[in-house]
């Protein structure tokens, strides 16, 4: 709980909005503020696809707001149309990935970058994208 006091030592009557920032995360509601840990990527569905395939990335610590996830990458390629669904789900569309990148590759790593600057990776163990 955070209590606010005026410079003269008096307690502020009623409620006031207070902004709390921890590890580049800022509270945006009057609810309890719990900073997120690093995102955790558990799985991706479907496990393979082509350019334009919509992926569902499941995990945890994806935040409560759309801007809590800064980027999703497949290998070195930025996913497009990233959509925050919930604290445990993010969707994105597979970007154009050149054939040379895929040749001889057993899979590409899925990386999620949070607003706090923390990342999580899932190494795909089957040929993907």
pLDDT digits (tens, 9 = 90+) for 38-62: 899 998 898 877 889 999 999 999 9
Instruction: Answer whether residue 119 shows pLDDT above 80.
Output: yes
Cα–Cα distance measured from residue 16 to residue 4, given in angstroms and rounded to the nearest whole number: 8
Mean residue pLDDT of the chain comes to: 76
Q: Looking at the 3D structure of the chain, how many domains does it have?
A: 1
Cα–Cα distance measured from residue 77 to residue 111, given in angstroms and rounded to the nearest whole number: 10
Residue 22 lies in a domain: no
CATH of the domain at 43: 2.60.40.10
Residue 15 lies in a domain: no
Domain span at 66: 36-123
Cα–Cα distance measured from residue 86 to residue 54, given in angstroms and rounded to the nearest whole number: 16
Q: Tell how far CA 98 is from the center of its chain.
A: 25
Residue 31 lies in a domain: no
State pTM to two decimals. Answer: 0.68
Residue 29 lies in a domain: no
Residue 52 lies in a domain: yes
């Amino acid at each position: 709980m955070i209590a606010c006091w005026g410079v003269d030592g008096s307690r502020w009557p009623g409620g006031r909005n207070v902004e709390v920032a921890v590890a580049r995360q800022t509270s945006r509601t009057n609810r309890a503020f719990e900073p997120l840990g690093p995102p955790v990527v558990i799985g991706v569905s479907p496990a393979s696809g082509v350019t334009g395939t919509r992926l569902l990335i499941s995990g945890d610590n994806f935040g409560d707001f759309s801007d809590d996830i800064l980027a999703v990458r497949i290998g070195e390629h930025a996913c497009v149309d990233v959509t925050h669904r919930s604290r445990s789900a993010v969707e994105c569309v597979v970007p154009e990935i050149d054939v040379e990148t895929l040749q001889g590759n057993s899979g590409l790593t899925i990386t999620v970058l949070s607003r706090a600057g923390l990342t999580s990776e899932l190494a795909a163990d089957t040929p993907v994208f």
